[in-house]
Amino acid sequence: MTLRKVNISILIVAIVIFLLVIHHNFLSLSDFLRRELSDPSPLGLQPIDFIPAAPQRLIDESNDKDIAVVIAASDERLGGAIAAMNSIYQNSRSNVVFHIVTLNDTVDHLRTWLRSPLLKNMRYRILEFDPRVLEGKVKVDPQKADAFKPLTFARFYLPSWVPDAEKVIYVDDDVIVQDDIVELYNTPLKPGHAAAFSDDCDSTSSKVAVRGAGNQYNYIGFLDYQKETIRKLAMKANTCSFNPGVFVANLTEWKLQNITKQLEKWMALNVVEELYSKTLAGSITTPPLLIVFYKQHSSIDPMWNVRHLGSSAGKRYSPQFVKAAKLLHWNGHFKPWGRTASYAEVWERWYVPDPAGKFNLLRRHSEAYEAK
């Protein structure tokens, strides 16, 4: 009897241990499934990488709402994207998740850079952009194929990058954020509006004249009003343009209005009819946005897109104004990672050195980059 009781006791202990192991594994699996993303994209694009754990400083704030920020990251400008994300992350008390759109040959370099100790708690997804989606929508000069930057069109496909979000922020890679981006995220959009931009005429950095017919702050600077297709739209040529390098999008409205398809339609028409103005050569993303959002967009606070810092090597703003700006934007020829950009020292404070050393070499040639 004694031996039998011992055997029963051993069996009971073994069963208890087995159940505890099963329970532990179940909890681990449940936690993994909660944290894993499984959002099929209309473009067939899937996240390559994701760090889901929110830093403790955000958990303590009891703010569990994700602030989705989409940014494109090309290899030759990767340091810009890193600095932009670092400035957003360090200045925000909100639960920011970066959706980083890049090309296949940049993924490894990007992933290595994001492992930097300074960025270790940053939440992000890496998404691969397939340039084939642009076939028939962009005319590429065979002699200038290297100048074609497919990632500039990543902003047209926002629902593909963040399919489950109701709202998203898009930023270019040549920006630095100096305030909590939740304020930009909370920009109110009027009913029926799918996006909010900073209007050039109302901006603190407006009225930058461009040589030739047209200006960079109205529609005639971006669209060819000699073309019948443009004239039939009845859009006033002197209508104030907006800058698409920083904007907030209501993805519910975006999908309802099929904004991506509308943009693709005008891209394809331009290939056939050349509807874009030759005045601002190289500005191939702004014209279709201007058409689709003509008098159908809300406005963001102009201090959230203080731009044209890259339009000249000189300093067009006072140090006090630059310090007060919520977002600095070096759109134009002179990028902050170059030697001649104005207020490059502000950008340098947020730059995280490239562990691979590649970007340091590219910085020497920054003035040859395509102006936005």
The dihedrals phi and psi of 246, each to the nearest 5 degrees, come to -145, 120
Whether residue 219 has pLDDT greater than 60: yes
What confidence tier does 278 reach under pLDDT thresholds 50, 70, 90? confident
Is 70 exceeded by the pLDDT of residue 30? no
Which of 117-131, 140-154, 196-210, 289-303 is predicted with the least confidence, judged by mean pLDDT?
A: 196-210
Q: What angle do CA 362, 280, 287 make, to 5 degrees?
A: 100
Residue 8 scores a pLDDT above 80:
no
The CA distance from 270 to 251, in Å, is 25
Among 87-91, 140-144, 168-172, 349-353, the minimum mean pLDDT is found in: 140-144
pLDDT tier at 340, thresholds 50, 70, 90: confident
pLDDT at residue 318, rounded to an integer: 93
- Residue 198 DSSP SS3: strand
Report whether 308 contacts 198 (CB < 8 A): no
The phi and psi torsions of 247 (rounded to 5 degrees) equal -160, 165
Amino acid at 227: K
Residues 154 and 161: beta-carbon distance below 8 Å: yes
Coil, helix or strand at residue 140? coil
| Side-chain-side CA neighbours of residue 333 (13 Å) | 10
Which of 3-17, 33-47, 324-338 is predicted least confidently? 33-47
Q: Which of 5-9, 75-79, 174-178, 326-330 bottoms out in mean pLDDT, i.e. has the lowest?
A: 5-9
Model pLDDT, residue 311: 82
Q: Tell me: the pLDDT tens digits for 68-87?
A: 999 999 999 999 999 999 99
Span 159-187, average pLDDT: 97
Q: What does the pLDDT read at residue 292?
A: 98
Question: Does pLDDT of 207 surpass 50?
Answer: no
Q: Average per-residue pLDDT in the chain?
A: 83
Q: What is the pLDDT of residue 82?
A: 98
